Amino acid sequence: MESVIEIRMGEITALTDTMGLECLSVEIYPVRDISPATYITQGKTEQLRELVEDSEAEIVVFDTFLSPRQQRNLEQILSCAVIDREEVILQIFSDHARTREARLQTDLAYALYSLPRLTRAWTHLSRQRGGAKGTRGEGEKQLEVDRRLVRDRINRIEKELAVVRRQRSVQRKNRLDSSKSLVAVVGYTNAGKSSLLNSLCDSDIHVEDKLFATLEPVTRNIVLPSGRSVLVSDTVGFVQNLPHHLVESFKSTLEEVTFADVLIHVIDASHPDPLACYETTRQVLHDLEITDTPTINVINKIDAIENQFVYQRMKHELADVVEISVKEHLGYETLLSRIEEAVFARSLEMNLLLPYGEGRLLSLLHEQAEILSTEYKENGVALHVAVPRSLVDSCISYAQA
């Protein structure tokens, strides 16, 4: 079984690979007391400087969060770029952002991260600076100018994001008005969420065997065994120590999860520590104050299990899981049945009397609800029906005792 350190080494290597860096060496430096100046001790810093010189490395990546002061000091000592885990993830998000909203959110997170780090020798802000001649005030230092430019950029992005979020709110309202229940797919990055949704919906959502291939929600319609249908939304993958700038910036995207009637939590059975991935996702959901939504735990990649002990322990810890393989198309019937059970377990039994002129609502009830009995009367159709939560508001005015 891999140790926690080996798993972390594997993940940071995967992150840097996704970022497009060639890994020359992975070093483990035990840290008992964090140095305010350089994070690691002076002796370890000197060892690292010699390693950088010998390998002619251009970038050193720390698998932790560094303060602006620590980054600046390390870059001066090592004479190369020093980036931390947060900047690696930000860069990956920046590279993978496809929609306008994802690009704006990533730019905002990067700007917030960069603002206290403007004095670094190696900075990405050269591609972000703007302004015209005369914008530099009399007596201002260059650092003050840079800070003002970045703050202006943050304000501009936030205004653009407000417009995009209003548009998304309208789109979300239209989906909610469709009276279909919403199921959100969540999980650790690269767990197979997009591949699962592609397979269930026969769609072509972008899939790549790299971390954070999906940055914006994609919603599709799926038909359940009974013939009723629900909306299923893919979401951004989570990771340990997800930068708080990103969580804050992507809250509007992650709001898709807050509106869901049911969550599908996808767990990668081939991961060395799937329970840690599971707990990471649960923590992010907790941070978003999503704690009561019914959740189906789905173990994916059962065709690629490498450690049976870890796998059996996970099944024991989680209990009542659905085991699937997207690659081998296994377990889908069980999963679809569980989705239907979870969605309609929240249904509310109601006695309704629908006027004959309410043909649209009657059609929606036949499509989305469970009709338990029907009786045609002079003044309308009397129904005993199990109504999904998404339709309750539309039905409440026709409820009978």
CATH number, domain with residue 278: 3.40.50.300
Instruction: Please state the rounded mean pLDDT for residues 181-190.
Output: 87
Task: Give the Cα separation of 278 and 273 in Å (integer).
Answer: 9
pLDDT at 135: 41
Residue 208 has pLDDT above 90, yes or no: no
pLDDT at 326: 92
131: confidence class by pLDDT, cuts 50, 70, 90: very low
**307 and 231, same domain (yes or no):** yes
Domain containing 371 equals: 347-400
Alpha helices in 97-231, H assignment, sequence order = 100-114, 142-177, 193-201
Question: What is the token pair recorded at 95?
Answer: 């590279």
pLDDT at 248: 66
**159 and 40, same domain (yes or no):** no
Residue 42 has pLDDT above 90, yes or no: yes
Residues above pLDDT 70, as percent of the chain = 84
pLDDT at 159: 92
Tell which residue, 74, 11, 20, has the closest CA to residue 242. 11
**199 and 303, same domain (yes or no):** yes
**319 and 363, same domain (yes or no):** no
**237 and 265, same domain (yes or no):** yes
105: confidence class by pLDDT, cuts 50, 70, 90: confident
Residue 240 has pLDDT above 80, yes or no: no
**221 and 321, same domain (yes or no):** yes
Number of domains comprising the chain = 4
Residues above pLDDT 90, as percent of the chain = 33
Residue 48 has pLDDT above 70, yes or no: yes
**291 and 197, same domain (yes or no):** yes
Half-sphere CA count of 192, side-chain side, radius 13 A: 23
Alpha helices in 259-307, H assignment, sequence order = 274-287
**236 and 331, same domain (yes or no):** yes
Instruction: Dump pLDDT digits (tens) for 284-341.
Output: 888 778 888 899 999 999 999 988 998 999 998 987 899 999 999 999 999 999 998 8
**8 A C-beta contact, residue 73 and residue 50:** no
**270 and 385, same domain (yes or no):** no
For residue 104, report the phi and psi dihedrals to the nearest 5 degrees. -65, -45
Task: Give the Cα separation of 136 and 114 in Å (integer).
Answer: 20
pLDDT at 336: 94
Task: Give the Cα separation of 300 and 141 in Å (integer).
Answer: 55
Instruction: Please state the rounded mean pLDDT for residues 220-228.
Output: 85
Task: Give the Cα separation of 204 and 198 in Å (integer).
Answer: 6
**155 and 284, same domain (yes or no):** no
pLDDT at 130: 40
Number of H helices, E strands in the chain: 14, 12
Beta strand 399-400 with 348-354 is: antiparallel
Instruction: Please state the rounded mean pLDDT for residues 236-240.
Output: 75
pLDDT at 366: 86
Give Cα separations from 166 to 175, 220, 251, 325 (angstroms).
14, 21, 14, 38
Instruction: Please state the rounded mean pLDDT for residues 144-171.
Output: 85
Instruction: Please state the rounded mean pLDDT for residues 42-70.
Output: 94
Instruction: Dump pLDDT digits (tens) for 246-299.
Output: 776 666 667 667 788 899 999 999 988 899 899 988 988 887 788 888 999 999
Instruction: Dump pLDDT digits (tens) for 345-375.
Output: 777 889 999 999 998 899 888 887 888 899 9
137: confidence class by pLDDT, cuts 50, 70, 90: very low
Residue ending a domain, among 326, 344, 362, is 344
Identify the CATH number of the domain in which residue 59 sits: 3.40.50
**63 and 121, same domain (yes or no):** no
Choose between 287 and 398: higher pLDDT: 398
Question: What is the token pair recorded at 131?
Answer: 């302004």
Give Cα separations from 94 to 105, 186, 214 (angstroms).
9, 21, 12
Residue ending a domain, among 344, 369, 390, is 344
Share the mean pLDDT of the chain.
Answer: 83
Give Cα separations from 289 to 132, 177, 233, 259 (angstroms).
44, 24, 19, 12
pLDDT at 129: 35
Residue 107 has pLDDT above 60, yes or no: yes
Residue ending a domain, among 148, 179, 210, is 179
Instruction: Please state the rounded mean pLDDT for residues 124-131.
Output: 40
Identify the CATH number of the domain in which residue 351 sits: 3.30.70
Choose between 132 and 33: higher pLDDT: 33
228: confidence class by pLDDT, cuts 50, 70, 90: confident
8-state DSSP, 26: -
Task: Give the Cα separation of 13 and 19 in Å (integer).
Answer: 10
pLDDT at 218: 76
**193 and 315, same domain (yes or no):** yes
* Of the listed ranges 42-46, 94-98, 167-171, the one predicted with least confidence: 167-171
